[in-house]
Amino acid sequence: MPASNPLEYLLSRLKTSADHGVDYVQDGLRTNSTTRVPLVVHTTLADPAQCGRRERGWAVHGGLPDAYAWAGLRDLPMLGNRSQLAQFSFGSTQTGVDPGEHGLIEMRLCRGTTPDDLPLRIRIENGAFYILGLNGDTVLAGDRESQVLTMSANTTYTLTVLLFQKAIYVRLTGADLPGGELELFVPDRRRFIPGCPGFGLRSNARAAGGELAIFDWTVRPVGPAENCRLGVIGDSITAGNDGEPEAESYVHLATRALGQELVLNTGSGGSMTALDLARFPYEIAPFQPEIVWIEGGTNDIGTGLSAASAWQNMMRQTELITWGGRAVLSTVPPRVLPTATHHAELIRINRLIRESGLPFVDRHAAVCDPNDPRHIRPEFCQPDGIHINRDGHAAIATEAERIFQALPVAQK
C-alpha cells in the first residue's frame, strides 16, 4: 500500500454497500430530510429542545453551559467492526466566540469489549483533532492539547473515517484547513464489538447565539471492489486476536490463498448468530463473495442459548446467498464453558453442522485437545480458554484452504 496516502489508495479499491444499492445509514439530519433514521438522544441539557433536528442539521444551541448532547441509532442492526466508511459534515453559526473556539464535534462508531468501555470517538475540539480509544480517554492518534485548525463560523467541514483490516483512517477537510485537509491514522487497533454509530456535539457556553450543527451523516459497510472470492462473518475468533497483525488471522491467510488481496472479514467480538443474521444484508450480501464463510455459535453457546436457535440463524444466513455464491460453515471450537449442559449444546451444534450436507471448515477438530476435546490444545490456546493463538489460526487456515480449493467454481 502506498505510504503517501493510504486512505485514498484504499478507497479507490473498495466499494461501499451503497455503491451496490444497499444503504445502512444515510441521513441529512435536517427536519426536511427524506431519509430520516431513528435516533436515541442523550443530553445533559435541562431543556432537550435546545438540541435536535433543525432546518440546517442536527444542532445544539450556542451559549448553553454543559451543552453536550449525543445521538445514536435506534432500531437498526449494529454493524460489525471490521469494514465501514463513515462520514458527516458539520459547521457552526455561533457568534461572539474566539476563532477556533466553537466547541466539540465527535463521531462515535462502536463500543468496547465490556459494558464499561467507551466507543471509538473521533473528535474535533476547539481546534484539536484526535482519536480516543477504549477504557477512558486514551488518545490513539492526534493531540487533544494542540490546536491544529481554526474552525471558522459558517464554514463547512467534512469528517471521513474508514475502518478496514484493523486500521483506522481519518480525514478532516475544509476550505480553511492547512493544505485543505488533516489526516490521522491508527495502524492496528484493538478488537471492537458492534455498536450503533452516533455523533456528539458541545457548543461554546460563551457564545452570544447561533448553533453547532452536524449534517449529511452516512455510515456504509465496505468491501473489495473486485475479485471478492471470500467473505466471512462471525465473532471475535473470526475477527482475529487483539494486538496481533491482521495478516496472522486465519481469515486473512485463507483469503490470500484464494488470490484475493483485500480481506472481507466482518467477524466482530461479542457477535451472536442473531446479530450476524441482521448484519448479513449490509456487510456480506452487497459484495457477493463467491464463498460465504458463515461462522459464529461460540457466544450463543457460551451465553446459554440452544444449538437449535444458533443453527436456525446460520441456516437463515445461507438463504440470503441469492447471487450464486456458495455457503461454507464452521464448527464451533472448544471453549471454557460453565456446565455440562453448555458442552452438550456445543456438541449438538457441531453435529448439526457436520451433518448438514454443506461444506464446512472443522475448526473444532483442527484445534481441540486430543486428550480432552472439551478444550483447545494448549499450544493453540489463549489464556482465556476461548480464543485461539496465531499457531491455532495457522492450523485453521490450512484446513480452510483445503476445503476452499476443493469447492467447485460457483456460478453467479
Q: Once rounded to an integer, what is the mean pLDDT over residues 345-362?
A: 97
User: Considering only 72-76, 103-107, 379-383, which range has the smallest mean pLDDT?
Assistant: 72-76
Q: Which among 10-24, 78-92, 98-112 has the top mean pLDDT? A: 10-24
Confidence class of residue 161 from pLDDT cuts 50, 70 and 90? very high
- Which pLDDT belongs to residue 4? 65
Report the alpha-carbon distance of residue 165 to residue 186 in Å, rounded. 11
Residue 112: pLDDT over 90: no
Tell me the pLDDT tens digit for each residue of 213-254. 999 999 999 999 999 999 999 998 998 887 777 889 999 999
1 occurs within a structural domain: no
Residue 2: pLDDT over 60: no
- Which pLDDT belongs to residue 191? 62
182 occurs within a structural domain: yes
- Which pLDDT belongs to residue 242? 75
- Which pLDDT belongs to residue 247? 86
- Which pLDDT belongs to residue 309? 97
378 occurs within a structural domain: yes
Residue 259: pLDDT over 90: yes
Residue 116: pLDDT over 60: no
Q: Once rounded to an integer, what is the mean pLDDT over residues 371-393?
A: 95
Is the pTM for the entire model greater than 0.85?
yes
- Which pLDDT belongs to residue 399? 97
Indicate if 298 and 211 belong to the same structural domain: no
State the pairing for strand pair 372-376/368-369. antiparallel
Across the chain, mean pLDDT equals: 91
Tell me the pLDDT tens digit for each residue of 170-194. 999 999 898 899 999 988 766 667 7
Indicate if 233 and 204 belong to the same structural domain: no
Of 222, 237, 263, the position where a domain reaches its end is 222
| Residue in this structure with the C-alpha cell 480516543, named with its chain if needed | 132
Indicate if 207 and 262 belong to the same structural domain: no
Indicate if 251 and 279 belong to the same structural domain: yes
Of 202, 222, 242, the position where a domain reaches its end is 222
Report the alpha-carbon distance of residue 62 to residue 59 in Å, rounded. 9
Number of domains the chain is built from: 2
What is each CA distance from 369 to 210, 233, 256, in whole angstroms?
65, 25, 28
Return contacts of 181-185, CB within 8 angstroms, 24+ apart: 182/129, 182/148, 182/149, 183/7, 184/122, 184/129, 184/130, 184/131, 184/141, 184/142, 185/6, 185/7, 185/141
Please give the residue range of the domain that contains residue 261: 226-406
Report the alpha-carbon distance of residue 243 to residue 75 in Å, rounded. 32
Q: Once rounded to an integer, what is the mean pLDDT over residues 133-152?
A: 86
Of 164, 195, 222, the position where a domain reaches its end is 222
236 occurs within a structural domain: yes
- Which pLDDT belongs to residue 134? 63
Indicate if 276 and 204 belong to the same structural domain: no
Tell me the pLDDT tens digit for each residue of 303-335. 999 999 999 999 999 999 999 999 999 999 999
214 occurs within a structural domain: yes
Q: What is the CATH number of the domain that holds 115?
A: 2.60.120.200
- Which pLDDT belongs to residue 10? 93
- Which pLDDT belongs to residue 188? 74
SS3 letters for 110-127?
CECCCCCCCCCEEEEECC
Indicate if 216 and 238 belong to the same structural domain: no
Indicate if 144 and 286 belong to the same structural domain: no
411 occurs within a structural domain: no
Indicate if 167 and 312 belong to the same structural domain: no
Confidence class of residue 338 from pLDDT cuts 50, 70 and 90? very high
Are the C-beta atoms of 226 and 258 separated by less than 8 Å?
Answer: no
Indicate if 191 and 144 belong to the same structural domain: yes
352 occurs within a structural domain: yes
- Which pLDDT belongs to residue 241? 84
Q: Once rounded to an integer, what is the mean pLDDT over residues 270-288?
A: 95
Indicate if 131 and 217 belong to the same structural domain: yes
Q: Comparing C-alpha atoms, which of 24, 18, 27 is closest to residue 215?
A: 27
Confidence class of residue 83 from pLDDT cuts 50, 70 and 90? confident
Tell me the pLDDT tens digit for each residue of 35-56. 899 999 999 898 889 999 999 9
- Which pLDDT belongs to residue 194? 74
Indicate if 189 and 124 belong to the same structural domain: yes
- Which pLDDT belongs to residue 1? 53
Number of other CB atoms surrounding residue 145 within 10 Å: 9
Indicate if 174 and 279 belong to the same structural domain: no
Let me know the angle formed at the C-alpha of 328 by 407 and 382, rounded to the nearest 5 degrees. Answer: 120
Percentage of the chain exceeding pLDDT 90: 76
Grid cell at residue 328? 461454507
272 occurs within a structural domain: yes
Helix or strand run (H / E) with residue 232 = strand 230-233
Q: What is the CATH number of the domain that holds 392?
A: 3.40.50.1110
